[in-house]
Structure 1
Amino acid sequence: MKRKAFVIVFLLLLSSFSLINAQPWMTVFEDKVKIGETLIVGGYKIEVTLEKNEMKPYAIIYESGDIKKVVGQGNITEIDSIRIVLGSYDAENQEVFVALQYKPPLMKELSPEKGTSFDVDGYSLEVIDSGSDRVLLNINGDRVEIKENSVRVYDKIALEYTGGVVKIYHANVEVVREEKKDYEIHYPFRGLKVEAGAEVQIPVEVINKGNGELKLQLKVISKPPGWDVKVLDESGRYEVSELTLKPSTSVTLTLFAKIPEGVSGVKRIRFAVGEETGEINLNVIKRESVDVVVSLLGIESEAGQNITFPITLKNHGGEKDVTLEVREKPAGWNAYFLMGNQRVRSFLLEGEQEITLFVEVPRNAELGEHEIRFSINGIERSVSVFVYKTYKGEPAKLLVTVKDEEGSFVQKAKIDVGNKTVLTDSYGKATFELKPGVYRLVAEREGYEKSEEEVTLEDGEEKTLEITLTKLPYYFELEGGGDTIAVTVGSTGVYRFGIKNLGKEEDTYSLSLLSIPEEWSGEFYYAESPLRSIKVSSGESKEVVLRLVPPFNAQPGEYNLTAAVKSSSGLEKRINIVVKLIGEYKFEMYPETPMISVKAGREGVTYVSLENIGTAPVTNIKFEVSAPQGWDVRAIPQVIPELRPSYFEEGNVRVGTTGVESRLTVTIKVPETAPAGTYQITITGKGDQAQASTQITVRVTQSSSTAYIGMLILALTFGAVIWMMRRVGRR
């Protein structure tokens, strides 16, 4: 509301200003103009810009390339045939309200008589009525009244009625708006005070604010006669006439001017960068002498050190301009002047002043003496540095520390420098030993934005560099789990893994099985609850359990499964799982006839059945027999190559299988001398994976003749015992 009120007030002020002065000013433009845009009206160019320090808008009015006037905010400024007012400023959108008025040329004068008609540049006018206090006109079908001593504006014509005469003015002018250029130039000085014979170097910064590459012509538009003026590159060594700038980059050029001796007064230099022009006024004064006292002329130093030479300047007269220049120095060295902690090229000297020549000795400096020559107001001086130790050719060491935005160390970040790659340790550090030179350093880690820096390493230098990696908004990692799990047939396999949200934002992750063996089943769980997606906060980790159930008839072996975790941002990670399915190896042996009867000296036959009650085949079953001494017991066959499971479950139905014959024929031969009685025979089957055993009870009986002989022997023996007892008793 305040801005709107301000606009209305200054427009009313503008209108009243016109009427008070009885001037036929016509408003030709009223609108918001962006900072940097230009309005062209007639032969004038009006550039709207911003005061850099106070951030206030102002306008510069040019005519034929020359600055005619600078207009501040809120003022009514008149120059020749235009009038301009800068209104309210919108800092957020960088827009200022501009109103322009134009004073049109006189096209026709006439005495208004009723019925008179005439044409003026496409406008048809007819006098309908006239009097001493007013005139009524018909203009292109519209009735327009003009009062005595007033101005009336109709479209692009202005009509003034004064002293019984109607004056007609035509504002045949267009206002052209030029959008803000994609580039800007900045230079700190527009007026300088210098001495004759001095050299002036003014930095000119060119900034490409657009999205495309710029190619700009550089030239000096005007200069005083006999002056050497040129545009130099950033190094100040080479003259340039054309500049190419990539998007969002800048370059600082140098406007160089060599002032001839014997020149004085205010001189102007005008230059152009593309369509932008600049102007610098130099107030040239005669050179006056200054005493230069250099207390140290030669210093010894090792390479890589900084050397200071104190210099005392004495001015015995009034205030003088002092110009400093390093004329000559060794290649690769750096030398400049300091006043306090500020680098200086020129200053005003009154009385006495201490300055310092600061010399940076490179680490690869050659052994021996090196000279630095400099000039102070044209007075030549020199100093020397004797290098007694150098690091030329020695490798440089670079220690890189990587942290995140919160200052925590980033482990396992990949650092590429030159042709070397190193991963950071638990403290976020990586060390390189490299040849001297300029390197492109690239630091990256999953979940972070890549960082690139240019690193310059000098001979034998040990440099420490800290890099900050910025986390991506959405990223995650899978923790633990491994790639192999063991599952017993008939049981449930459990695979555990963690989802860690390494991004800045909370995220939701969907879980799925991309591939799973036929008839297997799998489901994801968190905190004992099944789920298909899970939400994880930034920096948090949640453990998910994948439960796998193989079918009962699954054969032992290795099975491959693939699970997928996909974030809402589209990032997907897969888990390849190898399931080692382990079978249950178990079989039983039982005789078809647990007890058999065999007569001594005879042979008996029985059968033993084998049943695989496990879930996997048992192979290479061999048999061992344990029997009473002297017995001949044989089991046929001696080896069963494979004994398959007897049953598997399909749904809720237990189904039998057919396999290799699983029956033993056991032949038992009892010795003739074996007494009658009950005996145990043990048969043990030993396979590659399991073993089992069973027992057969054998009841041994005697033949009838053998029984009679035995009874006779017993009778004789009993009779002999009785005879001996009687005989002994008589004695």
Structure 2
Amino acid sequence: MKKWASLIIFVLLLSSFPFMSAQPWVTVFEGRVKIGESLIVGEYKIYLTLEKNEMKPYAIIYEDKEIKKIVGQGNLTEVGSIRVVLGSYNAENEDVFVALQYKPPLTKEITPKNGASFEVGDYSLKVMDSGNESVLLSINGDDIEVRANSVRVYDKLALEYIEDVLRVYYANVEVDRKVRKDYEVYYPFRGLKVKAGDEVQIPITVYNNGNKELNLQLKILSKPLGWDVRVLDESGKYEVNEIALNPKASAVLTLFIKISEDASGKKGIRFAVGEEISEITLDVVKNAGIDVIIPMLGVETEAGQSVTFPIIIKNRGEEKAVKLEVTEKPAGWNAYFLMGNQRVKSFLLEGEQEITLFVEAPRNAELGEHKIGFSINGIEKNVSVFIYKTYKGEPAKILVIVKDEEGNFVKKAKISTGDETTLTDGYGKAKIELKPGEYKIFVEKEGYETVEEDVTLEDGEEKTLEITLTKLPYYFELEGSGDTVAVTAGSIGSYTMSIKNLGKEEDSYLLSTFDVPEGWSAEFYYAESPMRKIKINPGESKEVTLRIVPPFNAQPGEYNLTIAVDSSSGLEKRINLVVKLIGEYKFEMYPETPMVNIKAGKEGIAYLSLENTGTAPITNIKFEVSAPQGWDVKVTPQVIPELGSLYFEEGNVGERTSEPKNRLTVTIKVPETTPAGTYQITITGKGDQAQASTQITVRVTQSSNTAYIGILILVLTFGAVIWMMRRVGRR
């Protein structure tokens, strides 16, 4: 069914290419082709392969070994004289349906006449009948009718009948199918330079690429006379004549060659693995008196590691001097010879001696294979080192561990190199990441001598550096409780500081203050006792308190003073302290008279006194009034810019700019309709720093005319009530 489906697709694709006014095509191949196989038609080659990610087949079309086009599945592709279409793909069998057409050249052109005959290639053609609508031919005994204006294909012939002219096209080509082998044979050396009498072992790897088990015979087809050549297993212990390989499996063999002592010149060895024939050429050098045997020709390692190659030197004659020389190595690599643990360049040899070629690969070595060449008494040899992992371009990491003389970890030690600076943690450790190169590492810590170390870091290297710091004989640490202390006016401020002796010896410390404001007091206390000098043992610390007393009339603000601590060794440390003096902001308001009498409809005046009872001026005092509805109350002045402090004295900090007392005038206008009685007016003063309020009591009285009118209204009202009672009662 798959084949028929492919044919249908092929026919549909071909239908899109009309045959009229164009040369016809002849199908020269159709069938299933395995992945990896090729179809060759003249100068064209169609190679079938598989896309590895999506596992879809495709074909590569070559013309004279040059890639022309890539053919995808289901696409009709034309290149020169061929066109190809790929049909269905069978993943289990790894094959795909291929239809291949060839565009044949015009070979014969005639006007057909009944009975006429002619030959084209291996085909005999005879005209049986001809007319306007068709021509009937006999080809190799088969009757073929070609209708007018159409093409008929017979085997490799394409017949075209147009306007009573018969054109014959002949595809004189053969399709050569190159079958894929299901296995591969790999061996690293095609030619070796060896010495007479040497034993050579060459690894051979056989891969089964197919899906079936393979049985392959192993044969030595030809070898030089007197040589011992065998195929051994990987260990070199057993001779092997045949191997069995499971699908997708591989086997490693050893081609063992024992060269005769009298051999010289180039010699060839041919061997077969199944149907695969291989050949190795050996250039044999005559024995010069020394045999050099290298068991390992190539090793694998990662960059930054060292590898060794054992070398056996045999002296076939009298005792002689052996000179060793490394002739070739990659830049930055190191290679030398060892005899035991000693580096050697030459020695006397009698009999046999084993030496070692020691190779050091740098951490920035390039990936791939690297050659190390050397000479032993003029005999040139080389080995290879394959780098499968490199650290080239990777940053180096250094772990610095800092301890003191007693082995204790030193925390917060400063580690600096170049532009990098860091501090050690609580365990005395610090990690730094640097580019490869040479560096100077500086380790610093207060109370210790600075240490300098030279470090060389390679690509991706991780190195640990242990540093021991030595304490200075005299050194101390001064640490305060900040750089600011707040003191409230009229109170005592305290500032605590710690003095720690970090030196090796006992030391005494003199404490003093500078730039203390005039009139202020600053004294040091230890254990509640005043002091100026204190002794501290090595490694101990003591807390000292500075008591600060500002004068009673000191203005609020910031004041500066300096604390100095001098050790007997001459080392001094200072703390610049800012003292913030916080003032008390408070003022009072009170009326000068307890009560004000005002007649309704009239205006009265009351006076209020303001007094600053705090220690600091109060600024921008504004006034708010709360009075009965309809009353008009005004305060003069409306704003007092500053109300000075009672405790301010001229010459203390600056000149006085305002008085501590002030007087307000309050104008009160009472509406005429206000009933007689007692009323309260609340006045509140609000400054930037504080506020206060007071009340004024107002007693309102009525005028005499108003009293008379009130009596008259009462009499009239009373008379009206009596009149109404009499009238209603009579009814």
Which of the five TM-score ranges fits, normalised by the shorter chain? 0.5 to 0.7
The 1:614/1:434 distance shift into structure 2, 3 A limit, reads: same
Aligned partners of 2:545 and 2:348: how far apart in 1?
Answer: 79
* 1:536 pairs with 2:517: no
Aligned counterpart, 1:589: 589
1:484 corresponds to which letter in structure 2? T
- Call closer, same or farther: CA 1:676–1:505 in 2, change over 3 Å: same
- Distance, in Å, in 1 between the alignment partners of 2:316 and 2:324 is 22
Judging changes above 3 Å, is the alpha-carbon distance between structure 1 residues 452 and 290 closer, same or farther for their aligned structure 2 residues?
farther
Amino acid at match of 2:519: E
- Take 1:364 and 1:626, find their aligned partners in 2: how far apart are those partners? 89
Query: Aligned-pair distance for 1:460?
Result: 3.5
SS of the aligned residue for 2:714 comes to: helix
Post-superposition shift, 1:607? 0.7
Q: Does 1:370 align with 2:371?
A: yes
8 A Cα contact 1:363 1:390, kept in partner: no
Question: Cα–Cα, structure 1 residues 373 and 612, in superposed 2: closer, same or farther, change >3 Å?
Answer: same
State the distance in 1 between where 2:340 and 2:508 align: 59
User: What's the counterpart of residue 398 of structure 2?
Assistant: 399
Deviates more, 1:662-671 or 1:489-498: 489-498
How far did residue 534 of structure 1 move? 2.9
SS at match of 1:296: coil
- Aligned partners of 2:410, 2:394: CA distance in 1, in Å? 27
* 1:210-225 aligned within 5 A: none
Separation (CA, whole Å) in 1 of partners of 2:696 and 2:702: 20
Counterpart mapping for 1:177-216 below 5 A: none
Q: Cα offset for 1:407?
A: 4.1
* Structure 1 residue aligned with 2:699: 699
Return the alpha-carbon distance in structure 2 between the equivalents of residues 499 and 710 of structure 1.
90
Superposed displacement of residue 508, structure 1? 2.6
Confirm whether residue 563 of structure 1 aligns to residue 563 of structure 2: yes
- Name 2:172's counterpart in structure 1: none
TM-score (norm 1): 0.53
5 Å matches for 1:122-521? 293-312=293-312, 325-328=324-327, 330=329, 332-338=332-338, 355-365=355-365, 368-373=369-374, 375=376, 382-389=381-388, 391=390, 394-405=393-404, 406-521=406-521
Map Cα deviations across residues 50-69 of structure 1 (whole Å, 9 max, x no partner): xxxxxxxxxxxxxxxxxxxx
How far the C-alpha of 1:292 sits from its partner, in A, is: 6.3
Deviation, 1:640, is 0.9
1:527 aligned partner: 527
Does the 8 Å CA contact 2:401/2:464 hold for their aligned counterparts? Answer: no
Q: 1:675 aligns to what SS in structure 2? A: coil
1:350, CA displacement in angstroms? Answer: 9.7
Say if 1:301 and 1:385, in contact at 8 Å, map to a contact too: no
Instruction: For residues 11-59 of structure 1, give each alpha carbon's deviation from its aligned partner in whole angstroms, at most 9, with x where no partner exists.
Output: xxxxxxxxxxxxxxxxxxxxxxxxxxxxxxxxxxxxxxxxxxxxxxxxx
Contact 2:645–2:660, Cα closer than 8 Å, also in 1: no
The Cα shift of 1:574 comes to 1.1
Residue by residue over 1:451-510, the C-alpha shift from the partner in whole angstroms, topping out at 9 and shown as x without a partner, is 112212223433332323223233222335222232222222222232233333343322
Matching residue of 1:573: 573
- The structure-2 alpha-carbon separation of the partners of 1:294 and 1:658, relative to structure 1 and needing over 3 Å to count, comes to closer
Quote the offset at 1:702 in angstroms. Answer: 2.1
C-alpha change, 1:596 and 1:490, in structure 2 (3 Å) is same
Q: Structure 1: which amino acid aligns with 2:501?
A: N
Matching residue of 1:5: none
For residues 389-438 of structure 1, the C-alpha deviation after alignment (integer angstroms, 9 at most, x for no partner) is: 57485144132323122444434433333444344445544444444332
Q: Deviations over 1:212-239 (max 9, x none)?
A: xxxxxxxxxxxxxxxxxxxxxxxxxxxx
Deviation of 1:639 (Å) = 0.9
Residue type of the alignment partner of 1:438:
E
1:364–1:459 CA contact under 8 A, matched in 2: yes
SS in 1 for 2:705: helix
Are the aligned partners of 1:400 and 1:431 in contact in 2 as well (CA < 8 Å)? Answer: yes
Q: Contact 2:601/2:671 (CA < 8 Å) preserved in 1?
A: yes
Q: Secondary structure at the match of 1:693?
A: strand
Amino acid at match of 1:371: I
**Pair 321,594 (structure 1): closer, same or farther in 2 beyond 3 Å:** farther
Could you tell me how far apart the structure 2 residues matched to 1:521 and 1:323 are?
93
Aligned residues of 2:412 and 2:445 also touching (Cα < 8 A): yes
Write the distance in 2 (CA, Å) between the matches of 1:374 and 1:448: 55
Q: 1:364 to 1:695 in 2, by over 3 A?
A: closer
Letter in 1 for 2:306: N
Deviation at 1:721, TM superposition (A): 5.0
Q: For residue 403 of structure 1, what is the amino acid of its counterpart?
A: V
The answer to whether the 8 A contact 2:679-2:698 is kept is: yes
Distance 1:398 1:322 in 2: 47
Q: CA deviation at 1:722?
A: 5.7
Question: What SS does the corresponding residue of 2:708 show, helix, strand or coil?
Answer: helix
Which shifted more, 525-534 or 350-359? 350-359
| Separation in structure 2 between the aligned mates of residue 567 and residue 531 of structure 1, nearest angstrom | 15
Q: Does 1:617 align with 2:614?
A: no
Structure 1 residue 444, shift from structure 2 partner: 1.8
Identical residues among aligned pairs (%):
69
- 8 Å CA contact 2:643–2:659 kept in 1: the answer is yes
Partner deviation per Cα, 1:135-165 (whole Å, 9 max, x = no partner) = xxxxxxxxxxxxxxxxxxxxxxxxxxxxxxx
1:70 corresponds to: none
State how far apart, in whole Å, the 2-side matches of 1:719 and 1:424 are: 109
Amino acid at match of 2:669: K
The answer on whether the counterparts of 2:363 and 2:392 sit within 8 Å (CA) in structure 1 is: no
Contact 1:415/1:424 (<8 A) preserved = yes
Q: Provide the residue aligned with 1:603 in structure 2.
A: 603
Secondary structure of 1:668's counterpart equals: strand
**Would the aligned equivalents of 2:618 and 2:644 in 1 still touch at CA under 8 Å?**
yes
Which AA in structure 2 matches 1:394?
G
SS in structure 2 opposite 1:711? helix
Contact 1:396 1:457 in 2 (8 A): no
**Which has more radius of gyration?**
2
CA 546–324 in structure 1, closer or farther in 2 if over 3 Å, else same: farther
Look up the equivalent residue of 1:399 and give its one-letter code.
I
Q: CA separation in 1, counterparts of 2:424 and 2:344?
A: 43
Matching residue's letter, 1:401? V
CA gap 1:509/1:728 in 2 versus in 1, 3 angstroms:
farther
Q: Which moved more, 1:634-643 or 1:358-367?
A: 358-367
Please give the alpha-carbon distance, in whole angstroms, between the structure 2 residues aligned to 1:660 and 1:502.
55
Superposed displacement of residue 439, structure 1: 2.3
Structure 2: gaps of 5 or more residues? 1-288, 651-655
Question: Cα deviations across residues 529-567 of structure 1 (Å, max 9, x unaligned)?
Answer: 322233333333333322222222222222111111222
Report how far residue 526 of structure 1 moved.
2.9
Distance 1:580 1:451, change over 3 A: same
Q: Per the alignment, in what secondary structure is the counterpart of residue 662 of structure 1?
A: strand
Structure 1 pair 321–618 and aligned structure 2 pair: CA distance change class (3 A): farther
Letter in 2 for 1:523: E
Q: Normalising to structure 2: TM-score of the pair? A: 0.53
- Can you give the 5+ residue segments of structure 1 that lack an aligned partner in the other structure? 1-288, 651-655
Q: Measured at CA, do residues 713 and 450 of structure 1 come closer, stay the same or move farther in structure 2, by a change above 3 Å?
A: same
Q: 1:321 to 1:443 in 2, by over 3 A?
A: farther
Q: What is the rounded CA distance, in whole Å, between the counterparts of 2:399 and 2:429 in structure 1? A: 6
CA deviation after TM superposition for structure 1 residue 649, in Å: 8.1
Equivalent AA in structure 1 for residue 702 of structure 2: Q
Q: Distance in 2 between matches of 1:321 and 1:527?
A: 90
Q: Contact 1:501/1:507 (CA < 8 Å) preserved in 2?
A: yes
Q: Is the 8 A contact 1:297 1:382 kept in 2?
A: no
Question: What's the CA shift for 1:715?
Answer: 4.1
Contact 1:646 1:658 survives alignment (8 Å): no
Distance 1:429 1:722, change over 3 A: same
CA distance in 1 between counterparts of 2:721 and 2:647 reads 67
Letter in 2 for 1:585: Y
Q: Which SS does the other structure have where 1:468 is aligned?
A: strand
Flag the 1:435–1:624 CA change in 2: closer, same or farther, 3 A.
closer
